[in-house]
A and B are shown apart, each in its own frame.
Chain A
Amino acid sequence: MNRRMLLLVLAGAAAVFAADPLPSAESVLDRYVQVTGGKQAYEKRKTEIAHGTLEYASIGIKGSITRYAAEPDKYYAALDIEGLGKVEMGINGQVAWENSALLGPRVKTGLERAGAIREGSMNSTLNWRKLYPKVENAGIETIDGEECYKVVMTPGEGQPLIGYYQKKSGLQVKVTTVSSTQMGDIPVELIASDYKDFGGILEPAKVIQKAGPQEFTMTLESVEVNPVIPPERFALPADVRKLVDKAEAK
């Protein structure tokens, strides 16, 4: 009798655990698409212009950012940072580049280029299957008192990205990765919060980014949905064009 009782208890415990299995990474990522607006809302978005601000609070520096994007792989961003001047970066489908008053023009190569193309890809939230061939739910972690699924997303090239998605809301609240930059591999942590509806898609209005010794806060203020963006916006700047031509001539 006692043995039967024990078996029943064990079976009951197993049933309790089986009732809440870890969802697949795919379902967590698809749910994120769903809770932020749904597939259709993303598919409707062909172009966008986003405006926001940057603040490096610890060193007292502020700036503005304007980001242009067009399907499938066109991207241009201009940052104007107090004391450092203008920083431009873009992807024209092939070339990933950056041009700043500080460092001058340059063309991104290797893993840095691959990472820039992934991050600059329009609707990357929807298109995670194309960008990350391997995804895995690595378990549950608590962030700010909320249980989150920890999803490891591995791209074709480059370091994995770990996204943390709240079990309750399905929203992504944190991302960690190691970013391949020209200056080296830098640990990056993004804390996303204050989700707001920008033209039918929920996006975090506040993102705190810690990258190596730097920490700054990006605030998304507005998003123009499907504006007409002239193709020249995504053309290579003259200084970058010269570098590309010089490299090709060699």
Chain B
Amino acid sequence: MPARRLILLVAAGVAAFGQAASRLDLDSFEKVWTTVRDKHWQSKPGGLDWQAIHDEYRPRVEKAASHDEARAVMQEMLGRLHQSHFAIIPAPVYSVLDDEEGGPGVTGIDARVLDGQAVVTSVDPGSPAEKQGVRPGWQIQRAGGKELKPIIDQALSNPAVHELQLTRAVLARLSGAIGGTLDAAFLDGSGKTIDLSLNLTPPRGAISAFGNLPAQHVWFESKRIESTAYVRFNLFLDLPRVMAGFQQTVDNCKPCDGLIIDLRGNPGGIGGMAMGMAGFLVDKPNQRLGTMYLRDSTLNFVVNPRADVLSAPVAVLVDGCSASTSEIFAGGLKDLGRARIFGTRTAAAALPSAFERLPNGDGFQYAVANYISQGGQPLEGLGVTPDATVELTRGALLAGHDPVVDAAIDWIKTDSISIRRQKQP
């Protein structure tokens, strides 16, 4: 009798679990459907009768026998939009990307995934990593006691995961509480494993607050590489300082062979700054970087030429972590024929697309606007394709080279000579 009772209890528990899972999937379906209904830039999303879509797909989620089947139905529903950046990301993959173990403290390492491995691409001057001898090109094997390779492999197994998300997931594992330490294992250029305990310090740059956004550390650097001006900043934020620094760089570039604007790793920020900066570079009036389509309005990203515009060649450097405002800026200048783009394809995340966790634990990505660059191509989902694709390699980094910068300088030298020859009588 007690055994039978136990079986009944277990059976009831299993049934309850089954019901709960199904309800969570239905709640997730409703969240996905209503989010698209309320936030999509078209009042009729994708030109579809969205209510009819609901009525078609909800019964299929109700009948789904598993989370995987329910997710596939939701993914199929989003596929009917035929638009990028609408995706369901399975809970295990989303958990890898949504790591909450990191913190504000950093080691000064910037990294990218090259050939499936996390590789140091730069080390902030004066940072704990630099002080302990970490060099660009070193492979990061382990951080905080976790092997990075399995995490990278799991993320790369899902085609919805982009370089930007993957890089953020890697960098999150290189962070922690300020004042703490991070144990990390590297493979140096000679193949030797180096174990280090790195101090975690505040990120590089000055803290900048903008409305409800969390305060961010913003840095800006400007230098000369021979006769070429070079500017790099990590975010389109801290507007007064970054815009003033950009203007100063442009002013100092008169004369110069050319200007390199390095937007690699720059995830964007205040969209208007792209228009403001382009005004220093584009002389022709009534030009646009592109157009953003929202549900109730259309916004032209117009360039206001300054009174004194730079005429020297401009190279913009991008990678898969250049997103949003960086893409609007790079794509617009490319389409206007004002800049040559070097590096690798951008994040294809020009829009304010958001990620949210669904009730069933999966991640949900959706876009709330559409942006068409001046050349007529949407940036969302396609990104900016460089004029010259130049990839970082571990070998070049270990040799102390940045092949993307090198390619831009070579082009500027050639272009400047050509311009000077044309100007000669």
Contact of A105 among B272, B299, B307 (CB under 8 A): B307
Contact of A212 among B213, B240, B243, B296 (CB under 8 A): B296
B239 near A183 (CB under 8 angstroms)? no
B299 near A56 (CB under 8 angstroms)? no
Interface size for B (C-beta < 8 A) is 30
A212 near B294 (CB under 8 angstroms)? yes
Contact of A102 among B213, B273, B296, B307 (CB under 8 A): B273
Contact A103 to B279, CB < 8 A, known contacts A59-B211, A183-B300:
yes
Contact of A213 among B240, B275, B297 (CB under 8 A): B297
A-B contact count (CB 8 A): 82
Contact of A182 among B211, B302, B308 (CB under 8 A): B302
Q: CB of A78 within 8 A of chain B?
A: no
Closest residue on chain B to residue A212 by CB atoms: B297
A103 near B275 (CB under 8 angstroms)? yes
Closest residue on chain B to residue A241 by CB atoms: B307
A85 near B240 (CB under 8 angstroms)? yes
Contacts of A12 in B (CB 8 A): none
Contacts of B304 in A (CB 8 A): 103-106, 182
Most buried by B among A84, A102, A243: A102
Mark contacts of A49-66 with chain B using CB atoms, 8 A cut-off: 1 yes-contact digit, 0 otherwise: 000000010111100000
Q: CB of A224 within 8 A of chain B?
A: no
Contact A83 to B306, CB < 8 A, known contacts A101-B240, A102-B270, A187-B297:
no
Contacts of B273 in A (CB 8 A): 102
Q: CB of B144 within 8 A of chain A?
A: no
Contact of B299 among A100, A106, A183 (CB under 8 A): A183
A183 near B301 (CB under 8 angstroms)? yes
Contact of A104 among B240, B279, B300, B301 (CB under 8 A): B279
Closest 4 CB pairs of A and B: A60-B212, A242-B307, A212-B297, A60-B211
15 sampled A-B residue pairs with Cβ under 8 A? A60-B212, A83-B210, A83-B237, A85-B239, A102-B243, A102-B276, A103-B272, A103-B275, A103-B279, A104-B279, A105-B304, A105-B306, A187-B296, A187-B297, A246-B307
